[in-house]
Structure 1
């Protein structure tokens, strides 16, 4: 067990030990179905504090060799799935948080050097009987391991998009980062599953993406993962009963993210709630603003100030309860490239400050908690 290779169960164990834990292990059945298929590349983007890191911890605990996680999962939903026993603790898992490496370095080049150095250290320490062609090349090291063991890896990348949020203007660094991820992951036999989480979908250059092998699941198109993008109405109702809190108030404060799962049997609409907000409200026994006390609030102020194509007027309309038409197709999946008001509104959907109705192609302010932040920023509407 290393820091990044098969990192253990501690993260998921802490989630299970928490006062409030909502079972989202059904996600594992979805990732099991993608293993060693053309759908093995998954990028899940959703707002801050919507359970992205918890999901990565859960997947690491389930898949990783070295520790038997049966006791953790035996009472959870995934234990009833047909694929449960087949894949539990059967893979070598690499789990990295890109924000950690970005915070420890001062440039993109330095970050990538450190990332590869640390991963190679864990890999060579664990697979000590393997002879390596190039001990300084991460891709070749993983190829050599796969050639010797015939065991593929599950790669979990948390905060994959942090570079695009902190190096907003550095297009060269962004391109170099995407090229590294493509070279590391694409067309590699040693990848059984690559699962990335972030706030932003994968960056597009023109009409193309360097990571076009990934299936994206986002706030504008959650696919069949919609029910794992927060707490469902049923889950919130159960928590309100348990903690003797008003479900009607919880709905007013935190409901409003309408995510549509498009399926062969028809569309299914999920009414999703911010997990951070619901948990805080239950534990504090008080409804209020909890989720949006993050750095993304600064983005809300900055982008409203731009007032592109009458953006402020659209915000005023949405504060009055209106929905505003939007075209999301031109959004470049970064925080600086904006051609129209629609691009800014699409970014606010991914940040969690708006909700998108894919059927009507409109956006609106989801709930009282979020609307309060627009009210706080009302001086920028003038």
Structure 2
């Protein structure tokens, strides 16, 4: 057992995960990995946004294959144990596991960083194969070749967060080239490599100029179907986890629909929706909905990308925050570029980092967990221009609505119309909807806001479901070239208020006050008019 070779730490980390109340058995991945052993196409790199289970799966692979540990104590009860190849491969290989995100204490340069890995593997090899007299002063690849020539032993390489050095401040551009060369010399064309399994957020292809790592097959979430089911949680898996939550939690506070609203919405290349796994596990464990994934990075992580094309992207943001999808061409080339200039390049990077999701040629904000970060961005970055200015007035708009102050409501909408709004010509209802959404952005702190929701006998433009029982419910209908009175009449005639009579079976019926809000816009006079009426 060593620090890198056949490390007991891999086994222990995966064993700890399997003991968790909300563990999901994904060991079927091993059935797809085993046939790659010793084959020409034995080099794979799986890229996913952070917190999508990459490290857990890397630990699983290491814990299954490595020698010298009691692998069966973990795997005998899991899906892989039923596979024909199980007995032949469990615990039969030397595994070198490298977490490239780990650095030596006080490390300030690339040489110290890579020396820790190199020296550690050399030391492990000398300890494990002491009988063949390895020379430590030669390179790792020479030592590994020596082991193979004298013993016939091969190695499985499991490498987590392969792209970490590209985000380290002390790593220079020349260091990155040295790092790619290190990986090439370690892996490419080497007979001692039984398998190389690598994970990261960013793709290899365009980091590796030329042919350094062209032996790897790459699998991302947006464009590659293979391996999709093993990263993220499916609806069925979350159903099972939610059943456990209901069974073992003394006072459950989360509904199944809320899990979907907060953490679902990512798409695989097979067009299957998946949930953010870390957020699901944290929410159920804490018995509380919160920003678990995005809490690891503030809204300015989003702004880092959109800042390069503010004038165009802010228009898309105005639509995406109301749930609209934006046409985009996604390519993994963009994620590795230090200069993201075009919208397609920017959106490609944001998809790869998990800040947007991609489906059928369009990008969009996947769920509430991320939507809250976009809301924060819109209310914080003045460089977003009209989007920022309208969002900043959203608390005033909400208070005016609750107070029935229709004059203030109309003046805020008038301000919205008179500011620079390049995409919003008010010739279509979706444009007015985008403006209304911006001027009510602050409402999301107190309401679950749903748009175009099936209610009563038809579809309503907006319904504001209060989080607190003491707050008023709001039904908002927009009309172009119609009066706000006509909008309220539609709310009544279509019985939209029925939506408050128990939207979810886990929740009691809403018994508070409901406000009907009608907003009209006259295209000829360019004037807005508003009306607020208490329904009950």
- The TM-score normalised by the length of structure 2 is 0.66
Deviates further, 291-300 or 370-379? 291-300
Aligned equivalent of 1:183: 185
Deviations 1:16-54, CA, capped at 9 Å, x for gaps: 122221111111111112111122111111122211111
Aligned equivalent of 1:40: 42
Aligned equivalent of 1:266: none
Trace 1:95-114 onto structure 2 (pairs within 5 A): 95-101=97-103, 105-114=107-116
- SS of the equivalent of 1:160 reads coil
- SS of the equivalent of 2:257 reads helix
Cα pair 2:36 2:195 within 8 Å, conserved:
yes
Aligned equivalent of 2:130: 128
- SS of the equivalent of 2:335 reads coil
C-alpha separation in 1, matches of 2:69 and 2:275: 33
- SS of the equivalent of 1:47 reads coil
Identify the match of residue 246 of structure 1 among 255, 274, 277: 255
C-alpha separation in 1, matches of 2:208 and 2:64: 38
- SS of the equivalent of 1:89 reads coil
- SS of the equivalent of 1:216 reads strand
Deviations 1:168-197, CA, capped at 9 Å, x for gaps: 983222221111111111111111111111
| Correspondence 1:293 to 2:302 | no
Report the CA distance between 1:105 and its aligned residue.
2.4
Aligned equivalent of 1:277: 279
Aligned equivalent of 1:219: 221
C-alpha separation in 1, matches of 2:214 and 2:41: 11
C-alpha separation in 2, matches of 1:330 and 1:18: 34
Report the CA distance between 1:247 and its aligned residue.
1.9
C-alpha separation in 2, matches of 1:34 and 1:253: 37
Cα pair 1:168 1:334 within 8 Å, conserved:
no
Identify the match of residue 320 of structure 2 among 302, 315, 318: 318
C-alpha separation in 1, matches of 2:105 and 2:166: 14
Aligned equivalent of 2:238: 236
- SS of the equivalent of 1:363 reads strand
Cα pair 1:323 1:364 within 8 Å, conserved:
yes
In the alignment, structure 1 segments of 5+ residues that lack a partner are: 262-268
- SS of the equivalent of 1:99 reads coil
Cα pair 2:221 2:269 within 8 Å, conserved:
no
Aligned equivalent of 1:375: 375
Cα pair 1:35 1:192 within 8 Å, conserved:
yes
Report the CA distance between 1:135 and its aligned residue.
3.5
Cα pair 2:233 2:277 within 8 Å, conserved:
yes
C-alpha separation in 1, matches of 2:186 and 2:208: 22
Deviations 1:328-364, CA, capped at 9 Å, x for gaps: 237243262324221111111111111111xx22111
C-alpha separation in 2, matches of 1:286 and 1:252: 14
Report the CA distance between 1:115 and its aligned residue.
1.3
Q: Quickly say closer, same or farther: Cα 1:329–1:102, change in 2 above 3 A.
A: farther
Report the CA distance between 1:325 and its aligned residue.
1.8
Q: Quickly say closer, same or farther: Cα 1:331–1:103, change in 2 above 3 A.
A: farther
- The TM-score normalised by the length of structure 1 is 0.92
Aligned equivalent of 1:362: 362
In the alignment, structure 2 segments of 5+ residues that lack a partner are: 247-253, 386-536
C-alpha separation in 1, matches of 2:209 and 2:176: 16
Cα pair 1:164 1:335 within 8 Å, conserved:
no
Q: Quickly say closer, same or farther: Cα 1:169–1:93, change in 2 above 3 A.
A: closer
Aligned equivalent of 1:198: 200
Report the CA distance between 1:205 and its aligned residue.
5.3
Q: Quickly say closer, same or farther: Cα 1:300–1:159, change in 2 above 3 A.
A: same
Aligned equivalent of 1:49: 51
Identify the match of residue 349 of structure 1 among 341, 348, 351: 351
Q: Quickly say closer, same or farther: Cα 1:338–1:186, change in 2 above 3 A.
A: same
| Correspondence 1:336 to 2:345 | no
Q: Higher relative contact order by CA 8 Å / sep ≥ 6: 1 or 2? A: 1
Larger radius of gyration: 2
Deviations 1:143-188, CA, capped at 9 Å, x for gaps: 0111112121011111110112224983222221111111111111
Cα pair 1:97 1:158 within 8 Å, conserved:
yes
Q: Quickly say closer, same or farther: Cα 1:102–1:352, change in 2 above 3 A.
A: farther
Aligned equivalent of 1:153: 155
Trace 1:81-96 onto structure 2 (pairs within 5 A): 81-96=83-98
Q: What is the CA RMSD across the aligned residues, in angstroms?
A: 2.1
Report the CA distance between 1:321 and its aligned residue.
1.4
C-alpha separation in 2, matches of 1:62 and 1:104: 33
Q: How many residues align?
A: 373
Cα pair 2:305 2:340 within 8 Å, conserved:
no
Cα pair 1:52 1:198 within 8 Å, conserved:
yes
Q: Quickly say closer, same or farther: Cα 1:162–1:320, change in 2 above 3 A.
A: same
